[in-house]
Amino acid sequence: MSDPDTADSDHRSRLLEGMAQAVAGKGYAAVTIGDVVREAGVSRRTFYEHFEGKAACLVALYEAASHNALKVLRAALDPAQPWDAQVEQALAAYLGCMASNPVLMRTLYIEILGLGPVGLAARRRVNAEIAGFMLEVVNGSRVRRQPLSPQMAMAIVGGINELVLDCIERDRVEKLEDLVGPAAQLVRAVTGHPR
């Protein structure tokens, strides 16, 4: 007998993957719930057990992908390394993670904005999580003299997001890792950590 929690988790994962595939193929506006369930190999009933509609599913996909990228960022930090090396290593891992699925990144960065207030709220939540992580790391480092403020942490996140969005809009997602240098320079300039 299968565990209902495991089946629910599997269905949710399949639905998120189904949304990613459907949006990648047609664009969010043209995607129907029928497309998502077909890609996921589940029923409409299963879809509605997990999401109230396709916007909620896209937001969940955006948050799941963002949490995965944040997990990669966390794992890439090595406190035994000098500050500069940590920043560049973490940014390379983060941007590399995003570059590994260019269709998903384009979908999430562009399509999430098409949801209006719901999409913007999801983007704000994710950016706040990343800024919170940055505050924890930067203010916990021994080389920082003055604490980084929440506003400046958010400015760094916003700046890096704009660099990524520019790459996506110019169809250069495979070149996201080229942003490591400028993004690291931004982090150093705002945090006051010299090179």
Q: Could you list the pLDDT tens digit for every one of the 195 residues in the chain?
A: 445 567 678 999 999 999 999 988 888 889 999 999 999 999 999 999 999 999 999 999 999 999 998 999 999 988 888 888 888 999 999 999 888 888 778 777 888 888 999 999 999 999 999 999 999 988 887 665 678 899 999 999 999 999 999 999 898 888 899 999 999 999 988 987 666
- Predicted local distance difference test score (pLDDT) of residue 51: 97
Question: Taking the model in full, what pTM does it have?
Answer: 0.85
Q: What six digits make up the tokens of 94?
A: 């983060």
Q: Cα–Cα distance between 159 and 155 in angstroms, integer?
A: 6
DSSP summary character for residue 148: P
Q: Cα–Cα distance between 79 and 19 in angstroms, integer?
A: 37
Q: What six digits make up the tokens of 3?
A: 């565990």
Q: Cα–Cα distance between 21 and 104 in angstroms, integer?
A: 8
